[in-house]
Chains A and B, each alone.
Chain A
């Protein structure tokens, strides 16, 4: 059962590799039942954070807690399913044998879990691990992370190497985990991979957490490209200076613009004419996301 204390909690978590900064002063809380997207470019500190949380490496300063306990406690790690960013599977052992071994170390898992997951992800587990393709290794990694139905899933770049259909299946698995009340921390360098399943995203850059945002709030701020087609040419004045509307272009009966945040004003203005066609691209969260990278300013809702 998820408890009410934070599932993941860090305070001033810092890791230096010699003089090189891996992560500095990370303070973060992930609540029970939340899906948290952890974003940043390669080398920003995502994997360092995750390894600290799982006690693979030890902090230079600060603390990390899982379920209120030190991750050095083996029992706490038993409640976590972990997919490493660079999953190494090798040798002559069959994937099914390896999974059975992991299940055994974890004290047994639900009957048929491995087979069910293998079917969902469409992977043949009778193959020797050294012969698995990158994508299939990733699938085996996902199976071992999900198979014991852990309270917390920590997934480092889970979608890398998966083809789009399998990515969809994986996202469905994450949604199911969330519905079941589990907590998920997943990292990515692409927002698009996590935005549809995450409640919040944190953005890490050069070893520092620069922002934590609600996905819904981020979507409000999102830039959206909109095209409207009318049955007759429309006057430009009717759309000029609408709040949130930028890059307005009107050519005869066609209007195109970008919208910051809500499209409400544009829709109301357009309602006075006859709209025959409306195209609205998915809000480009990536674009907002990138503004965090291009600015050195701290957009702080850190620890919100």
Chain B
């Protein structure tokens, strides 16, 4: 493994472990509710309808038929909370790639090493992708085991498909933070841009069925390509995944080119 990738992963290690535990704990808590819901479908459907006003239900993906295995997984794992947590993790790690060390001053010595700047960014990006992949693999494993334990009756292939889409979504936002950081060196800006885009993207997509405008806007956000294909039901949406990957590739390229051109630490 290249030196810088290894070094970056070492820097990520504690955060990765922490976020993995957090995300898996969250998944574990919610999946453990599933047997109760399955056994009292009417009660919980009514409760959900009563508890959340329509607007909130829409934001949470509709909460339709969430007493079935796939519906439940979609609602509690893939719709909102896990992507949200995982995106926060990715944005924080993406920021640690360039902007955070630049603001703390440790990047100065790094750029004077006999490493090309382009390679520096690429290796940091590779470490980000690998670190997030590790979180994805562990959480996928935990989810698969728990889903089997509570007889959720969702085939592994479908969970895998949903998790692949999730990983690509999260990688996109992590790369976005890395890229804004690489282009500007500003940690707060990188965090703000990635966070605002994630929130706006999520809202546009959740409300896209309501209005033409939202539908058009949602196509400009990664959430559209993440949720449109409904991988838990239909399997891997290859085209949508390629859109997410292409977006990430464009961002990574932008990061490489812009970091190569600018002053560091001024």
Min CB distance B138 to A, Å, is: 22
Contact B112 A82 (CB under 8 A): yes
Contact code string B222-266 (vs A, CB < 8 Å = 1, else 0) = 000000000000000000000000000000000000000111111
Interface residues of B in 80-137 (CB under 8 A from A): 104-106, 108-109, 111-116
Point out the residues of chain B lying under 8 angstroms from A90, CB to CB: 104, 106
Tell me which residues across on chain B come within 8 A of A29, comparing CB atoms: none
What are the residues of chain B within 8 A of A105 when measuring CB–CB?
3-4, 113-115
Query: Hey, which chain B residues are within 8 Å of A56, CB to CB?
Result: 108, 111-112, 263-265
B residues near A80, Cβ cutoff 8 Å: 112
The complex places the Cα of A167 from the Cα of B6 at a distance, in Å, of 35
Interface size class of B (residues with CB under 8 A): 20 to 34
Q: Is the CB of B3 within 8 A of A57?
A: no
Interface size on A, residues (CB 8 A): 29
| Cross-interface CB contact of A57 among B10, B113, B115, B264, cutoff 8 Å | B264
List residues of A (79-131) whose CB comes within 8 Å of B's CBs: 80, 82, 84, 86-93, 101-102, 104-107
Check A58 against B114 for contact (C-beta < 8 Å): no
A77 touches B114 (CB 8 A): yes
Q: Chain B's nearest CB lies how many Å from the CB of A297?
A: 31
Q: Say what secondary structure dominates the interface of chain A.
A: loop
- A54 located at the interface, meaning its Cβ lies under 8 Å from any Cβ of chain B in the complex: yes
- CB-nearest residue of chain B to A83: B109
Task: Decide if A75 touches B114 in the complex (CB within 8 Å).
Answer: yes
Question: Does B151 belong to the interface (CB within 8 Å)?
Answer: no
Q: How far is the CA of A174 from the CA of B14 in the complex (A)?
A: 39
Chain A residues closer than 8 Å to B105, beta-carbon distance? 84, 86-88
| A295–chain B nearest beta-carbon distance, Å | 31
Binding site for B on A (CB under 8 A): 17, 51, 54-58, 74-75, 77-78, 80, 82, 84, 86-93, 101-102, 104-107, 144
Closest A-B pairs by Cβ, 9 of them: A88-B105, A78-B114, A57-B263, A54-B112, A74-B114, A88-B106, A74-B116, A82-B112, A77-B114
- CB pairs A–B below 8 angstroms (15 shown): A17-B266, A55-B112, A56-B108, A57-B266, A58-B262, A58-B263, A77-B112, A77-B114, A82-B109, A88-B104, A90-B104, A93-B10, A105-B113, A106-B113, A107-B114
Supply 7 further A-B pairs (C-beta < 8 A) apart from A57-B265, A90-B104.
Answer: A55-B111, A56-B108, A57-B266, A82-B109, A88-B109, A90-B106, A93-B10
